[in-house]
Amino acid sequence: MKFEGRDIISIRDFSREEIDYILKIAQAMEPLAQKGSDMLKGKILATLFFEPSTRTRLSFEAAMHKLGGSTIGFAEAEIASVRKGENLADTVRTVENYADVIAIRHPLEGAARLAAEFAKVPIINGGSGAEEHPTQALLDLYTILKEKGTIDGLKIALVGDLRYGRTVHSLAYALSNYNVELYLVSPESLKMRREVLEEIRGKIPVTEETDITKVIPQLDVLYVTRIQKERFPDPAEYIKVKGSYKIDLELLGKAKKEMIILHPLPRVDEIAPEVDGTSHARYFQQVWNGIVTRMALLALILGEVK
Amino acid sequence: MKFEGRDIISIRDFSREEIDYILKIAQAMEPLAQKGSDMLKGKILATLFFEPSTRTRLSFEAAMHKLGGSTIGFAEAEIASVRKGENLADTVRTVENYADVIAIRHPLEGAARLAAEFAKVPIINGGSGAEEHPTQALLDLYTILKEKGTIDGLKIALVGDLRYGRTVHSLAYALSNYNVELYLVSPESLKMRREVLEEIRGKIPVTEETDITKVIPQLDVLYVTRIQKERFPDPAEYIKVKGSYKIDLELLGKAKKEMIILHPLPRVDEIAPEVDGTSHARYFQQVWNGIVTRMALLALILGEVK
Amino acid sequence: MKFEGRDIISIRDFSREEIDYILKIAQAMEPLAQKGSDMLKGKILATLFFEPSTRTRLSFEAAMHKLGGSTIGFAEAEIASVRKGENLADTVRTVENYADVIAIRHPLEGAARLAAEFAKVPIINGGSGAEEHPTQALLDLYTILKEKGTIDGLKIALVGDLRYGRTVHSLAYALSNYNVELYLVSPESLKMRREVLEEIRGKIPVTEETDITKVIPQLDVLYVTRIQKERFPDPAEYIKVKGSYKIDLELLGKAKKEMIILHPLPRVDEIAPEVDGTSHARYFQQVWNGIVTRMALLALILGEVK
C-alpha cells in the first residue's frame, strides 16, 4: 500500500485493505483533532470549489488547520479565473504551484479525474457532478465502524434519492467491499443507477424496495438522503414521495433499538427534528468523523503518515 | 467570574465587574497584538457571516491570527448551505465540529441567541438584526477608557440613527453600567427605541435632543453613527436631516478641546474629512481597539486567560 | 537601498539596482518556498481584491503562508463595506489596523497609489486599472533571468494587447532598465500606449510590428498576452486578429530552439495546447516564480530581509 502522492478520485480506486487502513489512520487522528498538531506545518491545501459547499470546504479546511497546515482557495466559480474563460487543466497547472494538495469540487462528472491527469500534486475529489464523493463515503464507513464496532455483518439501508445523489453512489461502492446486506429504498423514479447496481450486485446481496416500513425492522444502519423537489416534474408527486420517506418517531418505533441513523447533511425535512434527541441519531457525530477522515487522507497522501 | 465556554450574545448578559475585567484583559493584549502570540495555537475560529461585514469579520480573523489560531468560514449567506434550505440550528450543530468558537452575523434578531442554544462551543454575536452588537460596544468602552482614562464621570452623546443602529443599542446598555450622563441626539423619526430608553433611564441620567449644537459644548465623547437614506420615506427629509447632523470644523469649534469623536464605521459623509486631522478624531484608533478587545474575548472564552 | 516599509506601486519607482536585488532575494527564497519557513510568523497580509483575480490573490496568499504568516481579506468588491458607500481611503485606514501589509487590486487606475498615500503599512499593487502590475513584471523578469541566465543582451517580444494589458506596460518599463532589444507586436488598434513607448524608447531599442512571423526568428523571449474580444467593435476584425497572433507549432518552427514563451495567464486560445509540451513553454513555471518573487517582496518590505 502506498498513499504518498496518490489522488483520491473514486472510492472504486481503493481496495478493502486500503480503505481499512485509511479508517485505522482516521481513528489515530482523533486525539490530534482534539488538541491540534504540527504534522503538516508548512504545507498548503488549495480548496477549489467551482460549486458552493460550505460543509465539505470547511471540513477540509478544518482538517488542514488541525494538522498545522494552511489553506488557500475559492468558494465559488464566479470568483475564479474561469470567468475569463480559462480551462480546468490550466487552472490546475497553475494552482499546483501554490499548493501541496488540491481539493476540488465541480459540477461536472469527470472533472476531478481530469484535474488529476494534469496535476503534479495530489487531487482530492470533493464531489464531482452526480457521480462520486469519495471522502464522504470514507467518513460514512468510519462512522459505521466507530458506532457499531464492525462493518461486516450489518444490514444497511440507503434511503432517498439514489439516482442523483453522489453520496450514495460512492457509499454503495464502498460498502460492496464488506460483508453487508444492502437495502436500496427509493421512489421508482429515483432508483439506484443501473451501473452502480450491476457492479455491487456481483459482490453483496442487494434488495431494492420502495416501502421503507418493510425494511426498517431488520436494519442496523439507516442512511438517509435528501429528496430534491426539482427532480420531480409533478409537484404533487414530490409531496407524496416526501411524506412517505420522512423519518419520524412513529417509523422509528418499528426499528431495532441499536439502529443508527446517518445523513450526509444538509437535511431539509426528511428527518423530523424530534429524532435528533433519540439514541438513533448520529448525523452530527458524522460531521466530526469527516474531519478525522480528511485529516487521515491529507496526512497519508502528503506522506506524513506511511 | 467565569468566562470559559461562555457565549457573548448581549452586552446585557454582563455585569459591570465582568465588563471591567474584559477591558483589563484587552489592555493586556496590546503587546501581543503588536508582536503576535501562540496563545490560541491549534484553535479554530469559524466566522459565519450570513450578512456581509468585512470590517467585523476581518477584525475577528486578525484577532484570532494574532493569537496564533486559525480561521474558517464564509462571508455571505449565498455561499452557505442555507441555499439548500438548511436551518440555523443544523448549521451550528455542524460547524461546532469544525471550530472551537463561532462568530456569527445574521440579519435576523435573535439569531445569535438561537445559535447559542444549540451550540456546544461558545458563540460570539457579531451583530444580529437591528438588535445588538456586543463586541462593538466593548471596543467602544475600551476606546473611551483608553483615551480618557475613565468612563465614570463622562458626558457622552450618541448621535444619528438611534432607532435602527444596533451599535448604539448595545453601547447604551453598556454605558448604563457606568456613572455617565448620556445624550441621545437624533431626528424625531430615528429616536432611541423605547425599550432601551426605559431600561437605561432607571440607571443613568439620559437627555433626548434633536439639536446637536445644544449639547456639543459639554461633551467629553461624541459617538456618531450613519443616518441611512433608506430609513426616510421622503428624500427631501433625508437631505435636511443629513445636513443638520454633519460633524464639521464649524460645529467642533463649539466643543471642548479634549472631546473625542468615535464612529463604528463605515462612515459615509456624517463626519467631514477635514475632521480626520483634528485631535478630536479617534475613529481609526477604534479599529485597532476592536482587535485587542476581540483578542481578549477569544482568549477568555477559550479558557486561555482566566 | 531600503525596502522596509516601502510601497510597491509602480515598477517605475525602482532602479535597476533595486530590481536586481529583489530578483536576488527571490532566488534565495526558492528553498523556503519548497520547505516552508517561519520568517513572517505572527505577521498578517490583507488581500483587498476589489476586482476578482484568483491567480494573483492565491499567489500572494501562498507566498505569505510559505513564510509562516497569515492572511485575511476579500475577493470581490461586493463583499466589502464599499457596498455601504465607504471610500478607499477609509477602507485602507481601517484595514491597516488588521494587517502588517496590504495587497490591493482595484479596477481604477491610481487606486493603489491613493491607498499608499493614506496607509501607514506598506501597500503592494496587485493590479490597478489598465495601468500597472508591478509584481507581475518582477516575476516576469525573474523568470527570464532564471531561464536564460541573464536579461541583458536578449531580444524580447511582447505580443498581443499592448494597449489595455497592464502586465505589458509594467514589463516594458521594467525591461527598459536592461540592455534588451524590444519588439512590440500587436494589431494596429492595440498598439502600445504612447506614453509608455516614449519613455522606453529613450532607453532601449524598440521596434513596433504587426506581423509576428517577421520577428519570431531572432527572438530569445516571446511574451504572449490575451487579446480580448470586447476590445473590438467589429467581431469579424477580432476573429481575424486572433487567428494571426496564435502561437502554434507551425509558427514555432521559425523560432530559435532556445526561445522561451511566457504568458501572464489565464490564456484563452492564444497559445495552442500542443505548445505546452514543447521546450519553449515556460508559462506554468512562471506561476511558481510568482510565489518566490512575492515572498521576496513581502520579506523585504516587512524588514525581515535587509
Minimal CA separation from B80 to chain C, in Å: 14
Best to test chain B binding among C57, C97, C100, C304 (most B CBs inside 10 Å): C97
Nearest by Cα to C207 from C192, C217, C222 = C192
Look at residue A146 in the predicted model and tell me its pLDDT: 98
As a whole number of angstroms, the distance between CA B17 and CA B30 comes to 21
Cβ-proximal residues to C96 (8 Å cutoff; 6+ apart), any chain = C102, C119, C120, C121
In the prediction, which pLDDT does A185 show?
97
* pLDDT band per the 50, 70, 90 thresholds, residue B91: very high
Return d(Cα B24, Cα B123) in angstroms, integer: 22
CB contact under 8 A, C42 and B52: no
Q: Do A58 and B72 touch (CB under 8 A)?
A: yes
Residue of C nearest to B32 (CA): C42
Residues of C noted as catalytic:
55-56, 84, 105, 133
| Residue B88 pLDDT | 92
Quick check: C287 contacting A, CB < 8 Å? yes
Q: Is B2 a catalytic residue?
A: no
pLDDT at B140: 98
Return the number of other C-beta atoms located less than 10 Å from residue A71's C-beta: 24
Nearest to A55 among B43, B81, B99 (CB): B81
Instruction: Please list every residue in chain C whose beta carbon sits closer than 8 Å to the beta carbon of residue B36.
Output: 41-43
- pLDDT at position A73 over 90: yes
Closest to A93 in 3D by CA, of A68, A112, A69, A120: A120
Residue closest to B196 by CA, chosen among B228, B166, B153: B166
Rounded to whole angstroms, the Cα distance separating B134 from B119 reads: 19
Q: How far is B57 from chain C (nearest CA, A)?
A: 9
Which of B67, B78, B84 would you mutate first to test chain A, the one with the most A CBs within 10 A?
Answer: B84
Using pLDDT thresholds of 50, 70 and 90, give the confidence band for residue A85.
low
Q: Is A204 helix (H, G, I), strand (E, B) or coil?
A: coil
Kindly determine whether residue B86 and residue A284, on different chains, have CB atoms separated by under 8 Å. no
**d(CA A293, nearest CA chain B) in Å:** 13
Q: Which is it for strands B260-262 and B44-49: parallel, antiparallel or unpaired?
A: unpaired
pLDDT at C241: 79
Q: Which of B42, B44, B85 sits opposite A268 (nearest CB)?
A: B85
Integer Cα distance of B230 and B268 in angstroms = 14
Is B84 in the active site? Answer: yes
Burial class (CB in 10 A: 0-12, 13-18, 19+), C254: middle
The yes-or-no verdict on residue C41 having pLDDT over 90 is yes
Å between C193 CA and nearest CA of chain B: 36
| The pLDDT of residue A20 | 98
Whether chain C has a CB inside 8 Å of the CB on B55: the answer is yes
Tell me which of A200-209, A293-302, C160-169, C171-180 is least confident.
Answer: C160-169
- The reported pLDDT for the residue numbered A240 is 80
Angstrom distance (rounded) from CA A292 to CA A23? 9
Chain A residue numbers with beta carbons less than 8 Å from the beta carbon of C62 are: 44, 72, 97-99
Which of A44, A79, A80 minimises the CB distance to C65? A44
Closest-CA distance of chain A to residue C50, Å: 11
Q: Give, to the nearest 10 degrees, the angle between helix C283-301 and helix C16-35.
A: 100
The three-point CA angle A168-B119-B18 to 5° equals 160
Mean pLDDT of B290-298: 98
Nine-digit cell string for B85: 434550505
pLDDT, position A26? 98
The answer to whether the CB atoms of C90 and B52 lie below 8 A apart is no
Omega cis (within 30) before C52: no
Which residue do the cell numbers 463604528 mark? Answer: B264
SS3 letters across chain C: CCCCCCCECCHHHCCHHHHHHHHHHHHHHHHHHHHCCCCCCCCEEEEEECCCCHHHHHHHHHHHHHCCCEEEEECCHHHCHHHHCCCHHHHHHHHCCCCCEEEEEECCCCHHHHHHHHCCCCEEEEEECCCECHHHHHHHHHHHHHHHCCCCCCEEEEECCCCCCHHHHHHHHHHCCCCCEEEEECCHHHCCCHHHHHHHHCCCCEEEECCHHHHHHHCCEEEECCCCHHHCCCHHHHHHHHHHCCECHHHHCCCCCCCEEECCCCCCCCECHHHCCCCCECHHHHHHHHHHHHHHHHHHHCCCCC
Tens-digit pLDDT profile for residues C132-144: 899 999 999 999 9
Grid cell 444538509 in the structure block, residue: A266
Q: Is the pLDDT of residue C106 over 80?
A: yes
Question: pLDDT tier at C239 (50, 70, 90 boundaries)?
Answer: confident
DSSP count for chain A of H helices, then E strands = 11, 9
Mean pLDDT of B175-187: 97
Instruction: Give the model's pLDDT for residue A277.
Output: 95
Q: Is residue C209 within 8 Å of C222, Cβ to Cβ? A: no
Q: How far apart are CA A303 and CA A25, in angstroms?
A: 13
C79 — pLDDT class (breaks 50, 70, 90)? low
Domains contained in chain C, CATH given: 11-132+290-301 (3.40.50.1370), 135-287 (3.40.50.1370)
Residue C257 has pLDDT above 70, yes or no: yes
**With an 8 Å Cβ cutoff, is A74 touching chain C?**
yes
Residue C130 has pLDDT above 90, yes or no: no
Q: A253: helix, coil or strand?
A: coil
Which residue is it, cell 443508527? A260
What pLDDT, in 10s, does the model give residues B65-86?
999 999 999 987 655 455 555 7
- Interchain CB distance below 8 Å, C61 and A72: yes
In which band, very low, low, confident or very high, does the pLDDT at A129 lie, cut at 50, 70 and 90? confident
Amino acid letter at A86? E
Q: What is the structure's pLDDT at C278?
A: 97
- Do A31 and A146 form a contact (C-beta atoms < 8 A)? no
Q: Is the pLDDT of residue A116 over 70?
A: yes
Per-residue confidence (pLDDT) for residue B236, from 0 to 100: 84
Q: What does the pLDDT average to over B163-176?
A: 93
pLDDT at position B231: 76
Work out the pLDDT band at C156, boundaries 50, 70, 90: very high
What are the beta bridge partners of residue C49?
A: C105
The answer to whether residue A182 scores a pLDDT higher than 60 is yes
C257 at interface of B, judged by CB pairs closer than 8 A: no
Output the pLDDT for position B82. Answer: 54
Q: Residue B49's beta-bridge partner residues?
A: B105
Alpha-carbon distance values, C248 to A185, B22, C229, C284, C290 (Å) = 54, 66, 20, 17, 25
Bridge partner residues of A103 (DSSP): A47, A124
Q: In this predicted structure, what is the pLDDT of residue A77?
A: 66
Query: Is residue A268 within 8 angstroms of chain B, CB to CB?
Result: yes
Task: Identify whether B65 is a catalytic site residue.
Answer: no
Higher pLDDT, A166 or A170: A170
Disruptive mutation site among B51, B65, B295 for chain C (greatest number of C CBs within 10 Å): B65
Q: Do B72 and A65 touch (CB under 8 A)?
A: yes
φ, ψ at A215 (rounded to 5°): -100, -20
Of C282, C15, C297, C299, which is closest to residue C174 (Cα–Cα)? C15
Per-residue model confidence (pLDDT) at position B26:
98
The closest of C296, C287, C283, C303 to C66, measured between CA atoms, is: C296
Nearest CA in chain A to B87: A268
Q: Tell me whether A231 touches chain B (CB under 8 Å).
A: no
Is B272 an 8 Å CB contact of chain C?
Answer: no
Amino acid at A75: A
User: Over the stretch A216-242, which tens digit does the pLDDT of each residue have?
Assistant: 999 999 999 988 777 777 888 888 878
Q: Distance between CA atoms of B185 and B222, rounded to whole angstroms?
A: 10
A27 touches chain C (CB under 8 A): no
Task: Supply the pTM of this predicted model.
Answer: 0.95
Edge-first strand listing for the sheet containing C155-159 = C206-209, C181-185, C155-159, C221-224, C260-262
- Phi first, then psi, for residue B232 (nearest 5°) are -105, 120
> Which of A56-70, B265-279, C66-80 has the lowest average pLDDT?
C66-80
What grid cell was written down for B250? Answer: 464649524
Computed over every residue of chain B, the mean pLDDT equals: 93
Number of Cβ within 10 Å of residue A197's Cβ equals 16
Pairing state of beta strands C70-74 and C101-106?
Answer: unpaired
Write down the pLDDT at residue B75: 87
> Is B98 an 8 Å CB contact of chain C?
no
Give the pLDDT confidence score for residue A268 in this predicted structure: 85
Interface residue of B53, B54, B275 to substitute, partner C, most C CBs within 10 Å = B54
For the beta carbon of residue C276, count every other beta carbon within 10 angstroms.
Answer: 16
Residue A253 Cα to chain centre, angstroms: 28
| Mean predicted confidence (pLDDT) in B152-178 | 95
Give the per-residue pLDDT at A82. 54
Cell of B67: 493569537
B217-273 per-position pLDDT tens digit: 999 999 999 887 777 778 888 888 787 889 999 999 999 999 999 999 998 889 999
Decide which of A157 and A82 is more confident: A157
